[in-house]
């Protein structure tokens, strides 16, 4: 992408309308990004002086012919391949100032890349491939019912109907149709429902509970709204407290024994 790097990206940048002050916060930007492979007569400029700015919530497509440097650019943006020169900022942090260990942790926690090929580890099972990032991070995989907040997901029925969760596959929660609607439309419908935000409205008293770290309020489907509708509380809360009051010591001991294995 020797020429396209400078011409394609710079012309695209210059051709964009001026961004007003209401534009969302910038989440990613590059400065004079350049990637060169080989030396001397074998030198290949894959990306040349690329300058990109992406706002939070913005959808961006990078297009170009085969071999034009799209994958190389994405690898640098995602922290996979260090540039020859230039800088990549994600949330105002220059990611290539990190050492390799910190950069690996950053990729694991903050970046998601979907490759053309699966890139799975063949000696691991499907489940082991899915849980590997959590294990590398020293964490157990958790369902949304264990974290106490709804996660970003889409459930698709045979007719193409899309819902935000398998427990909310009702007409009132239908986001659109997989075969007919753009992802932007589905995202907007979910935001209008306030589906993810609602799960964060947990009764403050619940967060003060000594057992909050164990149940975290549970799944949203098990919560009732409070009198004013501002917060939600798990309707099994009293039962949970009775159980943990009685067996917390035993649960703690079992956890210690498992941790020694």
pLDDT at 6: 38
Do residues 48 and 34 touch, judged by C-beta distance below 8 A? yes
Calculate what percentage of the chain has a pLDDT beyond 70: 90
pLDDT at 23: 64
Q: Taking the model in full, what pTM does it have?
A: 0.53
**Secondary structure of residue 76 in the 3-state scheme:** helix
Tell me which residues of the chain have a pLDDT lower than 50: 1-17, 19
pLDDT at 256: 83
Does an H or E element contain 234, and which?
strand 232-234
pLDDT tens-digit readout, 217-235: 888 888 988 887 788 888 8
Calculate what percentage of the chain has a pLDDT beyond 90: 32
pLDDT tens-digit readout, 3-36: 444 344 433 444 344 545 566 788 999 999 999 9
Q: Structure tokens of 242?
A: 């009775």
pLDDT at 3: 42
Whole-angstrom Cα distance, residue 37 to residue 84? 9
Q: Which residue has the tokens 């489907």?
A: 221
């Amino acid at each position: 992408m020797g020429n396209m790097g400078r011409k394609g990206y710079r012309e695209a940048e210059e051709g964009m309308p001026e961004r007003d002050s209401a534009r969302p916060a910038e989440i990613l930007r590059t400065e004079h990004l350049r990637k060169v492979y080989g030396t001397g007569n074998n030198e290949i400029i894959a990306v040349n002086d690329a300058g990109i700015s992406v706002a939070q919530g913005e959808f961006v497509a990078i297009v170009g012919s085969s071999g034009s440097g799209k994958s190389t650019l994405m690898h640098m943006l995602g922290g996979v391949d260090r540039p020859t020169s230039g800088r990549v900022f994600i949330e105002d942090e220059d990611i290539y100032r990190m050492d390799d260990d910190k950069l690996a942790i950053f990729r694991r926690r903050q970046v998601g890349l979907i490759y053309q090929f699966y890139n799975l580890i063949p000696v691991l099972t499907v489940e082991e491939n899915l849980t590997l990032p959590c294990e590398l991070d020293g964490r157990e995989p958790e369902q949304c019912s264990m974290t106490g907040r709804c996660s970003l997901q889409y459930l698709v029925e045979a007719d193409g109907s899309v819902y935000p969760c398998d427990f909310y596959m009702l007409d009132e929660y239908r986001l659109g149709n997989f075969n007919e609607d753009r992802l932007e439309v589905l995202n907007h419908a979910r935001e209008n429902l306030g589906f993810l935000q609602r799960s964060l409205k947990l009764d403050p008293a619940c967060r003060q509970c000594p057992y909050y770290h164990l149940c975290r309020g549970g799944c949203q489907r098990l919560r009732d709204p409070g009198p004013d509708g501002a917060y939600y509380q798990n309707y099994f809360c009293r039962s949970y407290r009775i159980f943990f009051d009685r067996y917390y010591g035993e649960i703690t001991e079992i956890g210690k024994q498992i941790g020694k294995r």
